[in-house]
Structure 1
């Protein structure tokens, strides 16, 4: 095994759920070089790949599909924030999440839908019709949270998305 491939594999083992762009940036390797080594590692059965909302995440062997989806989402700042709030306050409302995380309700809705599709959380409604979020496996999620810290680049992408949401939200209310 080449040194570069060994480095890629080691990075994936120490950063489960790392997505492609983050891997390229962290290792400072060319896109084509990363693709080549990832393809070889995958063919050799050394890693698993998960596609989730337009991002490809890489995992060492040993994680089941629910853990992979959960870890991938924990690498995204807003989804991670929703999960943390839901761990501290079971069944927070969408309004509470938006206020706590200082993001638009539409952003909360998008991330909650993603969490629900991944079976990490579910939407439920109170008797007044307000939506709430409930984690499907809170204790297991708490354990996985300790394994994942989002990268600086992930946090910047999420903050840029918030900026766009805020900008479009303001211009829509001015019309």
Structure 2
């Protein structure tokens, strides 16, 4: 963990699984996401522990338009933002029964995939939570050894649990 000008950042953990998913799983994910398989530019394991599968679409707009069915896997979907946008990618995270507004572990593995494949260059900022009415912004940086994931947060709810 380290402090940055924008808050805190953590070093991305090593991936425990990477590479293309099996075609049968890619087809099931396309069906679940309610898109044609041909729209998925890449479908890869980017698993740093939770079992993430990364789906890359051609554009941020396609990511924002998704209305998936019941999700059975931990899936991160990303699409590049248009030229001139303050964000490089729009990201959505789907897990069984939930869409998460900001997910650091997914951004860590997604960044490793995007940087390794030359689809992004660090530093970059990704947006997440837009569809949920949240302005999640995740900043990715890299040095010679690590990919760093950071940003700031806004506390929406705080409290205590009485036992």
Q: TM-score, normalised by structure 2?
A: 0.29
